[in-house]
């Protein structure tokens, strides 16, 4: 018997396909799958979250409040009066905004003022809405303040907090069931993109509802876009293009345009006299 | 954001070094395979023929690690299923290198052939996919035969 050795032929036990092509194909598939899954989980969780009655949101806020007190820490929901005149004024505007929005009595809003440079305001569970000095000090007139308040109150009345928590919980539960973690980079990016889309929709809804409230209060919507012009200037100073792409809020230029479009559609007046802030407003903020 | 940058850097490094090493390794494998092609290594269980030989067990073992790029592509395949193409060259290199080391051992003792060749593969290590490939067989050395391949090989490896 004659035995011979042979050189192993190429391309049988190896793929013969460029590794980068394989990587691209799989990445696109994974990204699509994750975005679809993220979208489904987020919308399902968000819908369920929105169905939870507001009284449970209040109950949860109470629980957090008492747990903080029990732990000897300051509660995030404790309403502390540090600037009485300012806070009194904010409350008076808030009352007018709430009545223009016809907020139900079962959905109480609690205002919080934070003596901080942050140019921001946000609404969280239980109707707690926070305003930072940084943002308040930049407001040019009361109309912009009313728009800001109406926007945040809309998040409460439209149940965006509960929807956000529901969507986030569904995403976290779904992904941990799949054994994926935020450590998986592609996954992180895809979920960020999905949640960003949802948040932007919520912001747009809040803008629309806020604009209607401002129109009811003043008979026109002049000055409402001042808020977003302000944000636009701030962001131009702070952020790069990539941050804008991932921002949870719609781009400010688009928001301003949408406000104008909505006003034209509903035949709301874009021009009108703006109500000045009280004379002592800026001194209250110091 | 910083996580994404770290990820991208690891992918580029993994791809660059991984491809470079793989191509270099294949080049070396092909060169040595050509040199050792005069030494048949077969899977048959029975020694051929009538001549009297000295029989010794020879083995070649190699440990190969994956790179970040290959491992990431493989983790994506784990989601969808299908051929894990990124690991195929890794195993191919492992088997061929193990066989070459086996042949090297056999040729150093002047063997005329190796029969009853078997392969074993095992995964070792933790986070980074690393495999050991072991090839073993029985070398047949004609009685009083001088070594022929060993000298050639020692210059190549």
Q: Residues A156-201: pLDDT tens digits?
A: 999 998 898 888 888 888 877 776 655 565 556 556 666 666 788 8
Provide the percentage of residues in chain A whose pLDDT is more than 90.
36
- More confident position, B42 or A185: B42
What single DSSP character describes residue A267? T
3-class secondary structure per residue, B24-92: HHHHHHHHHHHHCCCCCECCCCCCCCCCCEEEEEEEEEEEEECCHHHHHHHHHHHHHCCCCCCCHHHHH
Q: Is the pLDDT of residue B157 over 60?
A: no
- More confident position, B134 or A66: B134
Calculate the average pLDDT of chain A: 85
Rounded Cα–Cα distance for residues B157 and B147 (Å) = 17
Q: Is the pLDDT of residue B148 over 70?
A: no
- Give me the domain span that covers residue B23: 2-156
Q: Is the pLDDT of residue B19 over 70?
A: yes
Q: Is the pLDDT of residue A255 over 80?
A: yes
pLDDT value for A100? 93
pLDDT value for A151? 94
The token pair that represents A237 in the structure block: 């100073």
Rounded Cα–Cα distance for residues A56 and A64 (Å) = 12
Cα–Cα separations (whole angstroms), residue B155 to A167, B31, B113: 65, 12, 21
Q: Band of the pLDDT at A75, cuts 50, 70, 90?
A: confident
Q: Is the pLDDT of residue A17 over 60?
A: yes
- More confident position, A224 or A245: A224
How far, in whole angstroms, is CA A33 from its chain's centroid?
25
User: Range with the lowest mean pLDDT among A173-182, B21-30, B58-67?
Assistant: A173-182
Contact B107, B39 (CB under 8 A): yes
Cα–Cα separations (whole angstroms), residue B50 to B53, B56, B145: 9, 17, 16
pLDDT value for A181? 59
Q: Is the pLDDT of residue A248 over 50?
A: yes
Buried b (16+ CB within 10 A) or exposed e, A208-236: bbbbbbbbbbbebbbbbbbbbbbbbebbe
Q: Is the pLDDT of residue B93 over 90?
A: yes
How far, in whole angstroms, is CA A181 from its chain's centroid?
23
Q: Is the pLDDT of residue A25 over 50?
A: yes
Rounded Cα–Cα distance for residues B95 and B113 (Å) = 18
pLDDT value for A13? 86
pLDDT value for B115? 93
Contact A126, A110 (CB under 8 A): yes
- More confident position, A197 or A33: A33
Mutate to test the interface with A, among B8, B29, B68, B76 (most CBs of A within 10 A): B76
Rounded Cα–Cα distance for residues A116 and A118 (Å) = 5
Q: Which residues of B touch A (CB under 8 A)?
A: 1, 3-4, 7, 15, 19, 30, 33-34, 36-42, 48-49, 69-70, 72-73, 76-77, 79-80, 83, 85-86, 88-89, 91-92, 95-96, 113
pLDDT value for B150? 47
- Domain residue ranges in chain A: 19-68+77-284
Q: Which of A119, A121, A111, A109 is nearest to A87 (CA)?
A: A111
Rounded Cα–Cα distance for residues A149 and A77 (Å) = 18
Rounded Cα–Cα distance for residues B153 and B129 (Å) = 30
- More confident position, A99 or A42: A99
Cα–Cα separations (whole angstroms), residue A243 to A190, A238, A246, B15: 15, 10, 5, 28
Determine the average pLDDT of the residues in A107-118: 90
Pairing status of strand A121-124 against strand A128-132? antiparallel
Q: Which of A11-15, A131-135, A163-167 has the highest mean pLDDT?
A: A131-135
Rounded Cα–Cα distance for residues A154 and B27 (Å) = 67
For chain B, the domain total comes to 1
Q: Is the pLDDT of residue B156 over 50?
A: no
Backbone angles phi, psi at A225, to 5 degrees: -75, -10
Whichever domain contains B114, its CATH number is 3.30.110.70
pLDDT value for A72? 85
Residues of B in contact with A28 (CB under 8 A): none
* pLDDT tens for each residue of A190-233: 566 666 667 888 888 999 999 999 999 999 999 888 888 888 88
Residues 217-246 of A with CB under 8 A from B: 242
What's the pTM value of the predicted model, to 2 decimals?
Answer: 0.65
How far, in whole angstroms, is CA A273 from its chain's centroid?
30
User: Range with the lowest mean pLDDT among A2-11, A243-252, B95-104?
Assistant: A243-252
Mutate to test the interface with A, among B49, B72, B74, B117 (most CBs of A within 10 A): B72
- More confident position, A251 or A224: A224
Pairing status of strand A121-124 against strand A110-114? unpaired
Rounded Cα–Cα distance for residues B37 and A270 (Å) = 87
């Amino acid at each position: 018997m004659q035995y011979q050795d042979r050189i192993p032929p190429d391309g049988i036990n190896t793929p013969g396909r460029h590794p980068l092509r394989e990587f691209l194909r799989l990445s696109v598939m994974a990204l699509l799958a994750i975005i679809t899954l993220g979208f489904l989980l987020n919308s399902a969780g968000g819908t369920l979250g929105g169905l939870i009655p507001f009284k449970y949101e209040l109950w949860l806020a109470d629980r957090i409040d008492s747990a903080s007190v029990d732990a000897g820490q300051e509660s995030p929901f404790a309403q502390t009066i540090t600037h009485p005149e300012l806070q009194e004024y904010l409350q008076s505007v808030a009352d007018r905004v709430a009545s223009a929005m016809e907020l139900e009595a079962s959905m109480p809003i609690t205002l919080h003022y934070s003596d901080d440079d942050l140019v921001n305001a946000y609404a969280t569970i239980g109707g707690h809405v926070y305003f930072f000095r940084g943002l308040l000090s930049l407001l040019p007139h009361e109309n912009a303040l009313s728009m800001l308040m109406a926007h945040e109150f809309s998040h409460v009345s439209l149940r965006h907090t509960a929807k956000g928590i529901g969507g986030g919980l569904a995403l976290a539960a779904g992904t941990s069931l799949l054994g994926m973690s935020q450590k998986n980079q592609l996954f992180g990016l895809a979920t960020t993109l999905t949640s960003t889309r949802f948040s932007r929709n919520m912001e747009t809804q809040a803008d629309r509802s806020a604009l209607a409230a401002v129109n009811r209060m003043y008979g026109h919507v002049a000055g409402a876009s001042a808020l977003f012009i302000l944000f636009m200037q701030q962001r131009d100073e702070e952020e790069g293009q990539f941050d804008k792409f991932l921002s949870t809020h719609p781009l400010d230029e688009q928001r301003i345009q949408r406000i104008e479009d909505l006003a034209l559609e509903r035949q709301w007046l874009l021009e009108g006299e703006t109500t000045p802030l009280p004379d002592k407003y800026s001194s209250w903020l110091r | 954001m910083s996580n994404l940058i770290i990820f991208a850097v690891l992918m580029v490094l993994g791809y660059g070094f991984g491809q470079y090493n793989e191509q270099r390794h294949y080049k070396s494998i092909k060169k040595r395979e050509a040199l050792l092609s005069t030494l048949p290594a077969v899977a048959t269980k029975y020694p051929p023929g009538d001549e009297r030989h000295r029989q010794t067990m020879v083995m070649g073992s190699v440990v190969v690690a994956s790179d970040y790029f290959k491992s990431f592509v493989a983790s994506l395949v784990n989601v969808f299923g299908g051929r894990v193409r990124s690991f195929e060259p890794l195993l191919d290199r492992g088997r061929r290198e193990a066989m070459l080391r086996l042949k090297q051992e056999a040729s150093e003792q002047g063997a005329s052939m190796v029969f009853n060749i078997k392969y074993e593969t095992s995964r070792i290590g933790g986070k980074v996919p690393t495999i050991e490939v072991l090839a073993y067989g029985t070398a047949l050395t004609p009685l009083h035969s001088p070594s022929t391949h060993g000298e050639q090989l020692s210059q190549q490896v």
